[in-house]
A and B are shown apart, each in its own frame.
Chain A
Amino acid sequence: DVKVTQSSRYLVKRTGEKVFLECVQDMDHENMFWYRQDPGLGLRLIYFSYDVKMKEKGDIPEGYSVSREKKERFSLILESASTNQTSMYLCASSSGLPAYNEQFFGPGTRLTVL
């Protein structure tokens, strides 16, 4: 069965901390995505990777960076966490052309920055 896992379901961090969110997929997908989900705003794309070591900025990349050293793993990094980064973070993966094919989502990480 298709699976995308995220390292934590809930995370609480302090302002200024460096935060790592990890995502792993077992489907050999080329494409991986990080989204942020906020009430009334839907999902907004932070970063996208279409291959190992490749990345593209999404709609809201400011304050975030990503790393993809292996095909199955895509990490989201908050360099210096701020309270306005409190949110639900969703990872997804897909194969082929990303705008046409189904994206498979992880369960999400709810991050609270105090």
Chain B
Amino acid sequence: AQSVTQLDSQVPVFEEAPVELRCNYSSSVSVYLFWYVQYPNQGLQLLLKYLSGSTLVKGINGFEAEFNKSQTSFHLRKPSVHISDTAEYFCAVNNDYKLSFGAGTTVTVRA
């Protein structure tokens, strides 16, 4: 079964600084990877996904992620964060007919 591990549970960051959220997946064929974001008191929404093709994936709100097969990673990055990026971020991978989610990374952006 496929699974993901999010390596950081909490990431504090100052406004306008870059941020990287780390996600590693278990090795397997036909990997499809996702990043979702959950703003306070809301449901999750899709930031970006990798199904195939270019390993650099661009998403909404200035986020991007890079699929690295040799390191089995799918790290999420943003070059300059805003206060409004304060949220919980979830990495997910296809697992048979469903998605398996990581434990989440809470990003707190401070002025």
Contacts and interface: CB of A to CB of B under 8 A. Distances in A.
Interface in B31-76: 32, 41-46, 49, 51
With most chain A CB atoms within 10 A of its CB, the pick from B42, B43, B44, B94 is: B43
A58 interface: yes
Interface size class of B (residues with CB under 8 A): 20 to 34
A105 B90 contact: no
A107 B42 contact: yes
Nearest to A56: B97
B43 A105 contact: yes
A15 B94 CA distance: 35
With most chain A CB atoms within 10 A of its CB, the pick from B49, B90, B103 is: B103
A45 interface: yes
B98 A43 contact: no
B103 to A, nearest CB: 4
Contacts of B43: 4, 90, 92, 105-108
Given A90-B44, A98-B99, 20 more contacts: A41-B103, A42-B6, A42-B90, A42-B101, A42-B103, A43-B44, A43-B90, A90-B43, A98-B97, A99-B95, A99-B96, A99-B97, A99-B98, A99-B99, A100-B94, A102-B46, A103-B46, A106-B43, A107-B42, A107-B43
Interface of A: 4, 33, 35, 40-45, 48, 56, 58, 90, 92, 97-100, 102-108
Q: Which 6 A-B pairs give the minimum distances between C-beta atoms?
A: A105-B43, A99-B94, A43-B101, A42-B101, A42-B103, A105-B44
